[in-house]
Structure 1
Amino acid sequence: MYYDGLCPLCQAEILFLSGRNQAGLLRFIDVNSLQYSAATVGVSCQQALDSMYAQYDDGKLISGVEVFSAAYERADLPKLAWFFSRPSLRPMLTWGYRFFAKNRHTISGVLGPTALRLVKAASKQKG
């Protein structure tokens, strides 16, 4: 999964998924880091910031709401995976994610620090 490491809410989601990644089926790359190569992925940094992207080991690239469904499935969160995979909900979820992506730094400025604190606290309780 490619994510915006400068977004506290995005960081919270990645930390949450990392804690659920016991099977090791997920890898996370911050699009703002040197690990991210737009040329290799085929997606510019700006495109990656505008919409969530992920890539399977076979090279298949997915984006948007489909990423959440795949990630939640691999993180053993079947109810969330099911919810994000519903075709009837896809238009609403796509619109909601596009709104979030466009405004993520503003939204994250309000919700992100608290979400990040909660996820960190929960992960400490597990460990």
Structure 2
Amino acid sequence: MTELTIFYDGGCPLCVSEMRHLCRFDSKQKITLQDIHAEGFAQRFPHIDPVRADQMLHGQLASGEMIYALDVTYTAWTLVGKRHWVAVLRWPLIKQVSHWVYLFFAKHRSRISKLLTGSDRCEVCEIKRGEL
């Protein structure tokens, strides 16, 4: 059963890389991924503003509660049994600093992707669980 739906930027090489990495550990399929740029996204998820979701990672828990930014990251990695990788994000001082770092990354992820991967956007960045 899906416990978290992540609404991610499917054109961002770094974002797609993290989602692929996350899927490798999601053997119980607790997480569903939704590309905010996919055809029909607005019709399937009218409650998600794609512009806002492009500015900051959005997630929806099975209860319907929305979570954002590093709360999505923390929850996702916890669900796949890797909470120890992200536990530091909950430490009080680190939480504040990491939030600002995340906002900087989110705003400049295309440039950061270009710097790290050589590509600021990807034309075909599909995530298929069977390929992982």
TM-score per shorter chain, which class?
A: 0.7 to 0.9
Distance 1:113 1:56 in 2: 34
Partner of 1:50: 55
Task: Measure how far apart 1:112 and its partner are.
Answer: 3.6
User: Alignment partner for residue 92 of structure 1, among 86, 97, 100?
Assistant: 97
Task: Measure how far apart 1:35 and its partner are.
Answer: 5.2
**Scaled by the length of structure 1, what TM-score is found?**
0.81
Q: Which runs of 5+ in 2 are unaligned?
A: 1-5, 120-131
Q: Aligned pair in 2 of structure 1 residues 113, 20: CA closer, same or farther (>3 Å)?
A: farther
Larger strand proportion of the pair: 2
**Scaled by the length of structure 2, what TM-score is found?**
0.78
**What CA deviation, in whole Å up to 9, does each residue of 1:26-85 have, x standing for no partner?**
111100002533783523111001111100112110001111110110121121231222
Q: Which amino acid aligns with 2:57?
A: M
Identity of aligned residues (%): 23
Partner of 1:7: 12
Q: Aligned pair in 2 of structure 1 residues 70, 63: CA closer, same or farther (>3 Å)?
A: same
User: Alignment partner for residue 68 of structure 2, among 63, 71, 75?
Assistant: 63
Q: Which runs of 5+ in 1 are unaligned?
A: 115-126
Partner of 1:30: 35
Partner of 1:108: 113
Partner of 2:26: 21
Q: Secondary structure at the match of 1:58?
A: coil
Give me the CA root mean square deviation: 2.0
Contact kept in structure 2, 1:12 and 1:112, CA below 8 Å: no
* Matched positions, count: 115
Extract structure 1 runs of 4+ deviating beyond 3 A.
Answer: 38-41
